[in-house]
Amino acid sequence: MDAKDKQIATDLAYEMIREVSRDIRPYVGKPESGEKIKMGADGTPTSLIDTIAEDKLINILKNAPVLSYIVSEEIGELKLGRGTKRSITLTQELRREDLEEDEIPKFLFLVDPIDGTNNAIKEIPAYGISIAVAGVTQGRLATLNDVELGFISNFANGNFFEAEKGKGCWLNNEKVSPSNTINISDMTLGGFTKSGTSQASKLVDNARRMRVLGSVVLELSYVASGKYDAFLDLRGSRIIDIAASKLILEEAGGIITNKYGQKLNNTLSIYEKTIVVAANNKILHKQMIDILNDNQTDIIGKIGVISRIDQKRPILLAAKVIEYLLTSGREVIIEKQLAYELVKLKENPDLDSIILKIKEDYPETAELLDDINLNIDYSQLCENLFDFDCDMAVILGGDGTLLRAQSKMKPEIPIFGINMGTVGFLTEIEVAHTFDALNDILKGDYYKEKRTRLVVSHENHRYTAMNEVVVMTDKPAKMLHFEIQVDGEIIEEVRADGLIVSTPSGSTAYAMSAGGPIVDPKVAGFVIIPICPYKLGARPFVVSDNSEITVKLLKKGKRAAFVMDGQINEVAEYEEEIKFKKSDKDAYFIRTSTKYFYEKVKDKLNEGGIQHNTGCNNE
């Protein structure tokens, strides 16, 4: 929008605020104003006072001399102006290519006519209007980043916030800025924390004050003006509620993201919602994000290095990582097998040719092998994996390498995976980002992610698995007959080629290929999947991870092999039981990216993303 268009939009917003305030005044504090008269476009009940407010602003835009789109809580998505009013689907309308130039609206208004309706009905002085204005992005969907103007008015006390992208934020015509509080224990926190998580409770318990006013719009603005230090809505706020207040807060200098610290850039739509975490500054915001995600960042002093050793490229990159960590002042230990391969490599007369060939085959990471230094006494650094005692283990390889290492190390050692396999669901980064990520970690810019592990019991022996346990016949092309119990109750008897008991982490591996669901790692459950069952009704089960799962072999004369994470193989006989329970020791991963699980699923499993592999996590 140019300056002239911004002035037109501002004048329309001022008029809407003024007229809505006047029209709803007689209805404030009246119980009959809360009568539910219809369902809004967003699926929530619409009160009489909401309808009065929305009808007024729609009428203003309808009779305006310019065309506009509007997204509003009750009426949904409309095209208004020049005396016309038409229902639309905004995402379709913005992609239309058949509109003449004079038919294309100038503005996109996102409006919540009354935020805090119940407060208005009960005459609690925390209710107001929110108006955000974006330019029309013909040919693509509009997002929160397209919002250029924001206006919020508290009808109860007359406070008026406004912001212009790149220009700043004002309260009653005076520039505002957030508070300078940096400690959780000193903060005033507003919002909605209904999430059922101990992390949310911890955040609230550690705050100095907690406020719940019932108006997302006003409370986010209070962070901008320093009345609050932070705000969160763990239920999920509608985009139309936060579009204006997000701009106001950011222009004042505050921070607003989702639960994982990612910037908000949702599509502008009646249907869009997002969890909101807002704070006055980066320091306080980082503390909130860490608590909400159960992240505990400790000083990384001693680091273990493990690598797949069947290829030269990961071995050489491991040498580069070891050198980097040592020159960064960290104590380093390396796996014995890796040390042996590094010594062999540095004594290899063809080393220069090997490095040159790797650079030619992998040009995207060639520069990582420049100036590689192998003049290190690796034998002085090596230890058995079982004896590793360090603050972090760096693992170069695919998910198979990572699972092998995790099964042998102490579970409390957090793992940082560099993907040198094919898919790499469990690994954190791709090779090209290795040293940027390590630099962030050494500065403390990381968090720990917790993952559930399985304990497998059989004939007085105990094993652990982080991904899955596969039970199958030890003779090819033969079926097994299983009885499956959960907490002592028989849930299935089935003949099948095998059976998978998977954690959420393993749901993207063999379990997925066998027809199981993809499960968010935060889900507290296990998945039981029959492999090629001879029974139409045999489907995967998702059970609580507080349950004990028992698998018994029912066919006399047949043995089964069961394999933990593709690493450990054992045998079960007729009528022997294999029991599965949640381990009391979780696995931990070092994470530097805030990319959420579902984004990673799309990245790794999109067409072509896994090349020819469709099943097990790879080496």
Q: Which pLDDT belongs to residue 392?
A: 95
Q: Which pLDDT belongs to residue 595?
A: 62
Residue 373: pLDDT over 90: no
Residue 88: pLDDT over 80: yes
Mean pLDDT, the chain, rounded, equals 89
Q: Which pLDDT belongs to residue 40?
A: 67
Residue 498: pLDDT over 50: yes
Residue 27: pLDDT over 80: yes
C-alpha radius of gyration, the chain, whole number: 29
Whole-Å CA distances, 17 to 8, 158, 216, 368, 389: 14, 11, 18, 58, 63
Q: Which helix (H) or strand (E) holds 190?
A: strand 188-192
Q: Which pLDDT belongs to residue 102?
A: 84
Share of the chain above pLDDT 70, in %: 95
Residue 593: pLDDT over 80: no
d(CA 598, CA 520): 8
Q: Are 118 and 215 in contact (CB under 8 A)?
A: no
- The whole-number average pLDDT for the span 97-125 is 90
Q: Provide the pLDDT confidence category of residue 611 given band limits of 50, 70 and 90.
A: very low
Contacts for 142 with CB less than 8 Å, ≥ 6 apart:
90, 94, 108, 134, 136, 267, 268
Alpha helices in 480-535 (DSSP H): 510-513
The residue written with tokens 């080629």 in the block is: 497
Cβ count within 10 A of residue 471: 22
Say which of 290, 399, 545, 565 is annotated catalytic: 399
Domains of the chain plus CATH, in order, are: 3-175 (3.30.540.10), 184-292 (3.40.190.80), 302-449+597-605 (3.40.50.10330), 454-585 (2.60.200.30)
Q: How confident is the model over 553-580, as pLDDT tens digits?
A: 898 878 889 999 988 889 998 889 999 9
Cβ count within 10 A of residue 421: 23
Q: Which pLDDT belongs to residue 421?
A: 74
Cβ count within 10 A of residue 571: 12
Q: Which two tokens stand for residue 53?
A: 């407010």
Residue 296: pLDDT over 80: no
Answer left, alpha or beta for residue 245, where phi above 0 means left and psi between -120 and 50 means alpha: alpha
- The whole-number average pLDDT for the span 32-36 is 86
d(CA 481, CA 590): 41
Q: Which pLDDT belongs to residue 217?
A: 94
Whole-Å CA distances, 544 to 267, 523, 608: 35, 9, 34
Q: Are 181 and 280 in contact (CB under 8 A)?
A: yes
d(CA 81, CA 60): 9
Q: Which pLDDT belongs to residue 615?
A: 38
d(CA 597, CA 337): 33
Q: How confident is the model over 276-289, as pLDDT tens digits?
A: 999 999 888 988 88
Handedness of CA 609, 612, 614, 619 (dihedral sign): negative
Answer left, alpha or beta for residue 223, where phi above 0 means left and psi between -120 and 50 means alpha: alpha
Share of the chain above pLDDT 90, in %: 59
Q: Which pLDDT belongs to residue 617?
A: 44
Whole-model pTM: value is: 0.60
Q: Which pLDDT belongs to residue 219?
A: 95
Q: Are 434 and 610 in contact (CB under 8 A)?
A: no
* Higher-pLDDT residue of 60, 185: 60
Helix, strand, or coil here: 327?
helix
- The whole-number average pLDDT for the span 159-179 is 95
Active site residue 399: yes
Q: Which pLDDT belongs to residue 607?
A: 46
d(CA 378, CA 322): 9
State residue 44 phi and psi, 5-degree precision: -105, 155
Q: Provide the pLDDT confidence category of residue 80 given band limits of 50, 70 and 90.
A: very high
Lowest-confidence segment of 87-91, 106-110, 364-368, 592-596 by average pLDDT:
592-596
Residue 220: pLDDT over 70: yes
Q: How confident is the model over 482-497, as pLDDT tens digits?
A: 999 999 999 999 999 9
Contacts for 607 with CB less than 8 Å, ≥ 6 apart:
none
Q: How far apart are the first and last CA of the chain?
A: 52
d(CA 431, CA 317): 9
Q: Which two tokens stand for residue 595?
A: 């990319």
Q: Are 307 and 280 in contact (CB under 8 A)?
A: no
Lowest-confidence segment of 126-140, 213-227, 289-303 by average pLDDT:
289-303
- The whole-number average pLDDT for the span 428-439 is 90
Which of 290, 245, 6 lies closest to 132, judged by CA? 245
